[in-house]
């Protein structure tokens, strides 16, 4: 009699998940995906009103969720807030920022604003969650929403590309450091996804043509395209995956 292996579960029942940047766009979609998979999700964002609406929408589905007003750029506040919570089994950080311009026109203030959230904030949020897991002796999954721009260059995106390349670097180092403790660290790298953050790009017909030419599947991304990737990396289905970049880019970086 042949005994077949069993697919590891994609369910997250009994898990606690923290999703930063969860009040809209990719963050909200991923929070919904994790909640639907059974996790108790703490949605974190700066905008208290939108955050409250997002939490209400989660609960209306019969899922478990709560809100935490948090600015990932304030690393001291993040450390204190996360440290005051029970350890999170899953972190998904979707908080991000962009100020696009030709490299020669980059203002130091714009550079600092992007790096402060995309790199410094992301780094210390990961550290805060990892500290809780380490103190409790628990495994966990840390997921950063990176970008296809972490692997290529983009027009008027030198600062943004620099920030996302940096995320890929610290994720690999953290994966090596925390792997023996059972803490996995990965990124999801989307192509252009229609969200409030990307609307200025989609308002430019020339940019839209450029995007559609690059995406081999012939369409721009939707937030729904990110949800399965989030559940996969949060769950036991990806138990041997760490230090990896999951590209959800429609084939952009393949060409």
Q: How many domains, in total, are found in the chain?
A: 1
* Domain-located, residue 238: yes
**What does the pLDDT look like over 152-179, one tens digit per residue?**
999 899 999 999 999 999 999 999 999 9
- Look-up of token digits 């005994």: 3
At a CB cut-off of 8 Å and minimum separation 6, what does 109 contact? Answer: none
* Domain-located, residue 11: no
Residue predicted with more confidence, 197 or 188: 188
163, 110 in Cβ contact below 8 A?
Answer: no
In DSSP terms, 44 is beta-bridged to 20, 68
* Domain-located, residue 134: yes
**What does the pLDDT look like over 21-33, one tens digit per residue?**
999 999 999 999 9
Domain extent, residue 102, equals 16-248
* Domain-located, residue 209: yes
Q: Give the CATH number of the domain where residue 165 resides.
A: 3.40.50.720
pTM of the full structure: 0.96
Catalytic residue among 97, 111, 123, 160: 160
Radius of gyration, CA atoms only, the chain: 18
pLDDT computed for residue 215 by the predictor? 96
* Domain-located, residue 221: yes
* Domain-located, residue 4: no
Q: Annotated catalytic, 123?
A: no
* Domain-located, residue 53: yes
């Amino acid at each position: 009699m042949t005994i077949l292996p069993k697919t590891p579960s994609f369910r997250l029942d009994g898990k606690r998940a923290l999703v930063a940047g969860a009040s809209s766009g990719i963050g909200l979609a991923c929070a919904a995906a994790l909640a639907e998979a059974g996790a108790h999700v703490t949605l974190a964002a700066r905008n208290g009103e939108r955050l409250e609406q997002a939490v209400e929408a989660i609960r209306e589905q019969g899922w478990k969720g709560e809100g935490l007003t948090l600015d990932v750029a304030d690393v001291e506040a993040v450390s204190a807030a996360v440290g005051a919570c029970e350890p999170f089994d899953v972190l998904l950080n979707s908080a991000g920022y962009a100020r696009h311009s030709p490299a020669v026109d980059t203002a130091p203030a714009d550079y600092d604003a992007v790096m402060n959230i995309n790199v410094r904030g992301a780094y210390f949020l990961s550290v805060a969650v990892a500290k809780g897991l380490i103190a409790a002796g628990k495994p966990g999954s840390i997921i950063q929403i990176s970008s296809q721009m972490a692997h290529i260059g983009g027009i008027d995106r030198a600062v943004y590309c620099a920030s996302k390349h940096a995320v890929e670097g610290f994720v690999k180092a953290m994966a090596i450091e925390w792997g023996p403790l059972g803490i996995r660290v990965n990124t999801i790298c989307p192509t252009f996804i229609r969200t409030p953050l990307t609307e200025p790009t989609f308002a430019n017909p020339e940019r839209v043509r450029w995007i559609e030419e690059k995406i081999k599947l012939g369409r721009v991304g939707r937030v729904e395209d990110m949800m399965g990737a989030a559940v996969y990396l949060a769950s036991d289905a990806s138990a041997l995956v760490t230090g990896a970049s999951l590209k959800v880019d429609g084939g952009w970086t393949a060409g």
